Amino acid sequence: MAKKQNKDVLVEVINLKEHFDIPMGFLKSKKLKAVDGISFKIYKGETLGLVGESGCGKTTAGRTLLHLYEPTDGQIFFNGKQVVTKEELEDFRQNASMVFQDPYSSLNPRMTVGDIIGEPLDVHKLYTTLGERAARIQELMELVGLSSEHATRYAHEFSGGQRQRVGIARALAVSPQLIVCDEPVSALDVSIQAQIINMFEDLQKKLGLTYLFIAHDLLVVRHISDKIAVMYLGKIVEMADSEEIFKNPLHPYTESLMSAVPSPDPETARKSKRIVLTGDVPSPLDIPSGCPFRTRCPKAFDRCSQDVPYLREVEPNHFASCHLLD
């Protein structure tokens, strides 16, 4: 697991929202609350894992953080300064980048690998001569385990794992402090996943990187993360240190997620009881009243349908939003 470098906050997100207007017929629209008021901090040199089912808003949260989607509401602080003006946003984007989920569709098929990696250098004007640009591209390729002779090839000539390495080199081009990793290994073979995860850890130690690591594979997240935040229908329902959240899940949704994690120990596996949730995830267009999880929660009671539970510190550094914990 990644180690904390210090206690300085690199990124702080307060009440971040991303709502989309969805057309519902003639001159009518409805709000889709993809991200609905999430707050978290990431310390320098640490990894925050963001987990949850498909459609819970994880990817939208990462993209909204980087302003790939314009936030509907909320505040984003980077190195203690709020990102508001165009100049602050440009500075933030030069210090934060993203590794995308699909290495097949996130790379331009018409560009050579060298130009793909060099594009951020061009955009931010980070070199003075073409020789300097070429040297930086070669350095980035070596950093992610690619040969410099690959620079003149095209993305379709590479395997999925190699393409993801190209994507990581491109993300590193601006020497970022923060990298948002959007399910960076989910499209890869299991044998390649381990290599990429280990590379992320090595790069973190070598370059002092900070990660927001978005994934649905809980074992991967447990391995790489210092802290884990669990999302459900656009909200964070629980957040704590990685080992704490696995050993002591407080929210019923987190309990069900953790019960699904396979155990390598046969004795533990026999004793563990799988918590199977009934029903489907509600549509983000039609979120239930009160607690969004109540329609699938085996422990729901009357108050759950009336009041929205808010994320609060239930135990030291362990946050959860559930009326059962009051």
Tokens of 36: 């609905």
Q: Report whether 145 contacts 108 (CB < 8 A).
A: no
List the strands of the sheet with 178-182, edge to edge.
Answer: 96-99, 178-182, 210-214, 47-51, 227-232, 235-241, 318-320, 312-315
Percent of the chain past pLDDT 90, that is, above it, reads 71
Q: How far apart are CA 158 and CA 147, in angstroms?
A: 12
The b-or-e profile of 176-211 (16+ CB within 10 A means b, else e) is bbbbbbbbbbebbeeebbebbbebbbebbeeeebbb
pLDDT at res. 310 = 92
User: Mean of the pLDDT values across residues 70-78?
Assistant: 95
Q: How far apart are CA 65 and CA 144, in angstroms?
A: 25
Q: How far apart are CA 27 and CA 5, in angstroms?
A: 52
What residues contact 286, with CB distance under 8 A and at least 6 apart? none
Percent of the chain past pLDDT 70, that is, above it, reads 95
Q: How far apart are CA 291 and CA 310, in angstroms?
A: 9
**Torsion from C-alpha of 319, 211, 204, 95, nearest 10 degrees:** -130
pLDDT at res. 211 = 97
**DSSP assigned state of 111:** S
Say if residue 2's pLDDT is above 90.
Answer: no
Q: What is the pLDDT of residues 256-308, one digit of tens each?
A: 988 877 666 666 656 667 777 777 888 888 889 999 999 999 888 999 999 99
pLDDT at res. 4 = 46
Q: What is the pLDDT of residues 138-193, one digit of tens each?
A: 999 999 999 988 899 998 999 989 999 999 999 999 999 999 999 999 888 888 99
Average pLDDT, the chain: 90
Q: Report whether 1 contacts 226 (CB < 8 A).
A: yes
Cα end-to-end span (Å), the chain: 32
Task: Give residue 105's pLDDT band: very low, low, confident or very high (50, 70, 90).
Answer: confident
DSSP 174-219: T--SEEEEESTTTTS-HHHHHHHHHHHHHHHHHH--EEEEE-S-HH
User: Mean of the pLDDT values across residues 91-120?
Assistant: 91
Specify the higher pLDDT residue, 7 or 252.
Answer: 252
Query: Which single residue is written with the structure tokens 């302003």?
Result: 67
pLDDT at res. 5 = 46
pLDDT at res. 270 = 65
Q: Report whether 116 contacts 173 (CB < 8 A).
A: no
**DSSP assigned state of 266:** H
Q: How far apart are CA 235 and CA 202, in angstroms?
A: 31
Lowest mean pLDDT among 104-118, 244-258, 272-286, 312-326: 272-286
pLDDT at res. 104 = 82
Query: In this structure, how many other beta carbons lie within 10 angstroms of the beta carbon of residue 304?
Result: 22
Q: How far apart are CA 266 and CA 141, in angstroms?
A: 42
Tokens of 295: 């329609």
Q: What is the pLDDT of residues 184-228, one digit of tens each?
A: 998 888 889 999 999 999 999 999 999 999 998 888 999 999 999
Give 48-75 as a 3 state SS string: EEEECCCCCCHHHHHHHHCCCCCCCEEE
All domains in the chain, ordered by first residue: 9-105+176-325 (3.40.50.300)
